[in-house]
Structure 1
Amino acid sequence: MTKLHVEFIRLGIAFIVFIFIISLLFLHINQVQIQWFNTLSEVFTIPALLLSIAIPLWMVIDLVKKNIADKPIFNLTFFVCVISILLLLFAIRFLN
């Protein structure tokens, strides 16, 4: 697996976590009750939290090792991760 494949995999995982957080917040704010999504969100909340913390750490380690294949993909992934973390902090702070 090349460095570029790793960058795209990391971007895909970060984007999936971002979409999960956005949809969860959207349904919570609009008070939509979808039973299958509530069950699914209970199962995937802890892995989403762990991934939203682990991906930036993985990125910083790769940045220190100078193991980056494509800088724009790296920057986009980092931006998506930061937005996801900020949305999680918003949800913890204001929606409880």
Structure 2
Amino acid sequence: MNKLKLEYIRLTLAFLVFVYVVTHLFMYINRVESQWFQVLAEILTIPSLILIIAIPVWMIIDLARKKVADKSIFNLTFFISVISILLIGFAMVAIN
């Protein structure tokens, strides 16, 4: 697997976690009661939290090793990861 394909995989994972977090917050704030989404959220909460922490750590390790294939994809992935972390922080502080 080449470096560019790895960057796209990391970007896809970060984007999927971001979409999950935004959708979860939207459903909670608007008080939408959907049984299938609650079950899906229970299943995906732990993996999404692991990915929220693992993706930036993985990015920092690759940056230190100088294994970054495309800086623009790297920056976009880092930006999406930081926004996801901030949204989780908002959910923990403001909603509770």
Task: Report the TM-score range of the alignment, normalised by the length of the smaller protein.
Answer: over 0.9
- Verify: 1:73 aligned to 2:73, yes or no: yes
Give the deviation of 1:86 after TM superposition.
0.1
Q: TM-score, normalised by structure 1?
A: 0.99
Distance 1:69 1:12 in 2: 16
- 1:82 aligns with 82
Q: TM-score, normalised by structure 2?
A: 0.99
1:5-44 deviation per Cα after TM superposition (whole angstroms, max 9, x unaligned) = 0000000000000000000000000000000000100110
- CA-based RMSD of the aligned residues comes to 0.3
- 1:37 aligns with 37
> Percent of counterpart pairs with the same letter?
57
- 2:6 aligns with 6
Distance 1:84 1:31 in 2: 21
Unaligned stretches of 5+ residues in structure 2: none
What secondary structure does 1:69 align onto? Answer: coil
The amino acid that maps onto 2:74 is F
Distance 1:65 1:46 in 2: 28
Distance 1:33 1:42 in 2: 14
